Chain A
Amino acid sequence: MSIQEFLIPLLAASVIAGTPILYAALGELITERAGIINLGVEGIMLVGAVSGFMVAVTSGNPWFGLLASMMAGGAVALIHAFLTITLRANQVVSGLALTIFGTGLSGYLGKAYIGIPVENPFSVMPLGPLADIPFIGPIFFQHDALVYISYVLVLVIWYYMYHTRPGLNLRALGENPAAMDALGLNVFYLRYIYVVAGGALGGVGGAYLSLAYAPSWLENMTAGRGWIAVALVIFALWNPWRALMGAYLFGGIDALGFRLQVLGIQMSPFFLKMLPYLFTVLILVFVVARHKGRLSTPGALGLSYDREER
């Protein structure tokens, strides 16, 4: 087998396996940029996956499913926003509660949908002449619509964050909310917006699994991808382009496992399944150690904002 026959399908599979993590990581990225840490991504993705699947199966249209997953993800994130922003609850514990709640809720709702096929999943549609570019085409432009939307989304979020006024405010929101408040911006309202928007993106990440990647519904089908997305945001140093690269790297590890056997490397399937988790731990330790613990973490991340305590 030639290196091209091995490498191109592997890289193309990395993009697909990385896409759900990318959506979730982008959602967490804007949430954390606004100063709120949301550890409920895993739960949000599960609720997004199941509600997207249910609506897509019932309506026969995957786009309705996508919309449902965004609404569900946003709604679950709204609980987190209310608890942490209005009631100033501990952000870590609230996020954990969200994950547990989301796991239970998705399992409950999805029970009747296990083993049911979705008639109309997001299917591959090569992107015109771009798909024919040698090497690049098959890796990036022979996928489903959600993959293409994620490219655009990275570009939009990057442009928004670094080249627009509200984007500048978003970055400041996580660094110094008191200064934003003094400038007359409504810290509470803005944080609500970004937490809910982040949740909606997490929902899309889940829907990608149930409507494009699998496409089917299984209990706990995210298998830790929500947590990998949280780790990825740190790896990405809160930058959307680095999030994209990181997501494909993690996707690559995921995709590599099953291709090692093709190369004749014998490994227990249990060890192959461990790879993404071990890799997440190692890469996180490596990145944080290389920066000697001084990452560009948003300065006010995880702290409740209290006007009285300015």
Chain B
Amino acid sequence: MNRLTFKLEKRLTPSPVMVFIIPLISVLLALLLGGIFLVLTGEEPLTIYLLMFEDSLGSKYGLTETMVKAIPLMLTSLGVSLAFKMKLWNIGAEGQLYMGAMAATWLPLTFPYLPVYLMLPGMVALGMIAGGLWALLTAIPRAIWKVNEIITTLMLNYVAILWVDFLVYGPWRDPNGSNFPITASFVEAARLPGLGNSRIHTGLFFALALAVILAIVFKYSRWGYSINVIGSSERAARYAGMNIKRNILLVMFLSGAISGLAGMAEVSGIIGKLQHGISPGYGYTAIIVAWLSKLNPLAILIVSILFGALQVGGYAVQLVGVPATVATMLQGAILFFVLGGEVFTNYRVKLFSEKGEDLSK
């Protein structure tokens, strides 16, 4: 009998076909795996998937909600992808989003009578600065002593969420809010306008503009190039005279600022106040979106819509008694398959027979 062995041979450049096909197959395989799992727990996968699809992409209302969820995903994914490019593992987008939302909320609560041309730009600036500074807190020890930023960014997520809880349960609570943990509703000048009459708000244009800017920066600018170099080889970057520490601080600040903007857009465009639990974990889903998009800003826009739909679909199945966490599970499974599939992008898989003949030729 012939015993087969396989061997991985590194490709010099990633296979362009695989870069495109792998994410697609990954999503399908994750749905298949999820389906098997649903069957095992006594559910009907086809009914559930159909329901998820219909409620997210199959109606005008569903599509609107999908876009509403896609906007914060686009922004946070763009934020983390910037840091990931430099192999800075900023997984604190969730906390940066909360801090951005908090700082943006401060303006209309404190100065409700500002004119709209000061109010909205002011909220954008405050949201971005707060998100950026929150990320910078972890970037400083990372730059000086190489303190693991994965742990520090993640720990600060919990702190940021508790801080917002403290505010909305305490000093910022609306005195007329019948004891709900919410702030007073924003004045009209502090609300991002919607597109037409829909819930889709102009925050979408922030995401589109940022994606285009980042795509141009990565492709054509010197700075974008140096971030790529630092990300792929710190040693090479140092020999080339690039300032690594300064770039760590700058990239983390910008990465956090973009997630802070996501928070501003949520409170200003959707909720109209600050409250407990403003994000269902956008900052974590952003990590998957960024990786699935290969850190490509334009791909992030499209993948965010897909994951927005997954989120909406998760809520839909909850109504028929299936836990919404099924969506989170699918997200994790998709990332597993994408990661596993990358072996085909980066390596050539070769089969050998027992006698050492190369069978793949």
Contact = CB atoms under 8 A, between A and B. Distances in A.
A289 B147 contact: yes
Contacts of B330: 104
Given A277-B158, A293-B145, A88 B328 contact: no
Contacts of B166: 268, 270-271
B339 A270 contact: no
A234 B148 contact: yes
B153 to A, nearest CB: 9
B145 A277 contact: no
B126 interface: no
Nearest to A100: B332
Given A274-B158, A277-B158, A293 B329 contact: no
A90 B169 CA distance: 41
B210 interface: no
B332 A97 contact: yes
Contacts of B63: none
Contacts of B342: 87, 89-90
Interface stretch (A1-9, A181-189, A280-288): A280-288
A89 B150 CA distance: 18
Interface in A96-129: 96-109, 111
A111 B141 contact: no
A236 interface: no
A156 B91 CA distance: 35
Interface string B326-347: 1111111101100110110001
A107 B326 CA distance: 8
Nearest to A96: B287
A133 interface: no
Interface residues of B, number: 49
Contact of B91 (A96, A223, A288): A96
A39 interface: yes
A100 B162 contact: no
A83 interface: yes
A91 to B, nearest CB: 10
Contacts of A308: 9-10
Most chain A Cβ neighbours within 10 Å, of B148, B170, B323, B332: B332
B333 to A, nearest CB: 6
B152 interface: yes
A228 B148 CA distance: 12
B331 to A, nearest CB: 6
Nearest to B158: A277
A65 B89 CA distance: 35
Given A89-B342, A102-B332, A293 B151 contact: no
A223 B162 CA distance: 12
Contact of B326 (A98, A108, A228): A108
Nearest to B341: A87
Given A83-B340, A103-B325, A268-B170, A88 B8 contact: yes
Nearest to B326: A108
Nearest to B87: A92
Contact of A93 (B41, B144, B163, B291): B291
A259 interface: no
Contact of B155 (A104, A107, A281): A281
A224 B154 contact: yes
B151 A97 contact: no
Interface in A43-60: 43
Nearest to A79: B336
Contacts, number: 150
Q: State the main secondary structure of chain A at its contact with B.
A: helix
Contact of A90 (B8, B41, B155, B339): B339
Interface residues of A, number: 52
A281 B89 CA distance: 16
Contact of B328 (A83, A104, A231): A104
Contacts of B355: none
Contact of A288 (B147, B156, B284, B340): B147
Contacts of A107: 323, 325, 328-329
Interface string A205-232: 0000000000000010001100110110
A101 B329 contact: yes
A177 B309 CA distance: 44
A212 B163 CA distance: 30
Contacts of A223: 158
A41 to B, nearest CB: 11
B165 interface: yes
B336 A277 contact: no
Contacts of A228: 155
Contacts of A93: 287, 291, 335, 339
B30 to A, nearest CB: 10
A103 B328 contact: yes
A224 to B, nearest CB: 5
B159 interface: yes
B262 interface: no
B146 interface: yes
A310 B302 CA distance: 40
B288 interface: yes
Contact of B162 (A83, A106, A109, A273): A273
B340 A285 contact: no
Interface in B275-307: 284-285, 287-288, 291
Given A87-B340, A89-B340, A90-B339, A224 B158 contact: yes
Given A89-B340, A101-B335, A102-B332, 19 more contacts: A89-B342, A97-B332, A101-B328, A101-B332, A104-B325, A104-B327, A104-B329, A104-B331, A105-B325, A111-B323, A270-B170, A277-B158, A277-B159, A278-B159, A281-B151, A281-B152, A293-B145, A306-B8, A306-B10
8 contacts: A83-B340, A88-B343, A100-B288, A101-B332, A107-B329, A273-B162, A274-B158, A284-B152
